[in-house]
Amino acid sequence: MLRHLRPRADSGTGDSAVTHVERMPARAGVTAEWPRWVPEELRDTLTRRGVAAPWQHQARAAELAYDGHHVVVATGTASGKSLAYQLPALSRLLADPRATVLYLAPTKALAADQLRAVDGLALSGVRPAAYDGDTPRTEREWIRQHSRFVLTNPDMLHHSILPGHARWAGFLRRLAFVVVDECHTYRGVFGSHVAHVLRRLRRQVARYGRTPVFVLASATSGDPAAAAGRLIGLPVEAVVEDTSPRGGVTFALWEPPLLPADRPDGDGVVVPATRRPALREGDGRPADGDEPAPDAIRRSALRETADLLADAVAAGVRTLAFVRSRKGAEVVATMARRSLDEAVPGLGDRVAAYRAGYLKEERRSLERALLDGELLGLASTNALELGVDLIGLDAVLICGYPGTRASLWQQAGRAGRAGGEALAVLVARDDPLDTYLVHHPEAVFGRPVESTVLDPSNPYVLGPQLCCAAVEAPLTPADLELFGPGANDAVTALVEAGALRQRPTGWYWRHSGRPEVDLRGTGGAPLCVVESATGRLLGTVDPASAHFLVHPGAVYLHQGVSYVVDELDLDDACALVHAEEPDWSTHARDVTSLSVVSVRSYVDAGPVGLFLGEVDVTSQVVSYQRRRIGSGEVIDTRPLDLPTRELRTVAVWFTLSPPALAAAGVDVADIPGALHAAEHAAIGLLPLVATCDRWDIGGLSTAAHADTEAPTVFVYDGHPGGAGFAERAYGTAASWLRATRDAIAGCRCETGCPSCVQSPKCGNGNNPLAKAEAVKVLDVVLAHLPE
Judge whether residue 273 has pLDDT over 50. Answer: no
CA distance linking residue 426 with residue 252, whole number of Å? 6
**Rg of the chain in Å (alpha carbons):** 26
CA distance linking residue 278 with residue 292, whole number of Å? 21
Task: Give the tens place of pLDDT for each residue, 354-363.
Answer: 876 677 778 7
Q: What is the mean pLDDT of residues 711-724?
A: 88
Residue 386 CA, distance from chain mean position: 11
Judge whether residue 417 has pLDDT over 70. Answer: no
Judge whether residue 83 has pLDDT over 80. Answer: yes
Query: pLDDT class for 418, splitting at 50, 70, 90?
Result: low
pLDDT at 708: 96
The DSSP secondary-structure symbol of 382 reads G
Task: Give the tens place of pLDDT for each residue, 738-784.
Answer: 999 999 998 888 888 767 887 766 767 678 999 999 999 999 999 99
More confident residue, 114 or 543: 114
Q: What is the mean pLDDT of residues 723-743?
A: 91
Task: Give the tens place of pLDDT for each residue, 546-558.
Answer: 998 899 999 998 8
What percent of the chain shows pLDDT beyond 70? 89
Judge whether residue 351 has pLDDT over 80. Answer: yes
pLDDT at 718: 86
Residue 748 CA, distance from chain mean position: 31
φ, ψ at 471 (rounded to 5°): -65, -40
Task: Give the tens place of pLDDT for each residue, 47-59.
Answer: 999 999 999 999 9
Q: What is the mean pLDDT of residues 221-250?
A: 92
Query: In terms of C-beta distances under 8 Å and separation of at least 24 residues, what long-range contacts does 544-548 make, across chains too?
Result: 544/285, 545/285, 545/286, 546/570, 546/575, 547/588, 547/590, 547/621, 547/642, 547/645, 548/285, 548/286, 548/287, 548/288, 548/588, 548/590, 548/621
Among 104, 68, 112, 113, which Cα is nearest to 183's? 104
Least confident of 404-418, 614-628, 713-727: 404-418
Query: pLDDT class for 123, splitting at 50, 70, 90?
Result: very high
pLDDT at 761: 66
Least confident of 75-79, 620-624, 701-705: 75-79
φ, ψ at 369 (rounded to 5°): -65, -35
Judge whether residue 463 has pLDDT over 50. Answer: yes
Judge whether residue 679 has pLDDT over 90. Answer: yes
pLDDT at 22: 95
Query: pLDDT class for 221, splitting at 50, 70, 90?
Result: confident
Residue 372 CA, distance from chain mean position: 28
Query: pLDDT class for 432, splitting at 50, 70, 90?
Result: confident
Least confident of 221-235, 275-289, 511-525, 756-770: 275-289
CA distance linking residue 329 with residue 349, whole number of Å? 16
Q: In which element (H, E) is residue 195 found?
A: helix 188-207
pLDDT at 240: 94
Judge whether residue 277 has pLDDT over 80. Answer: no
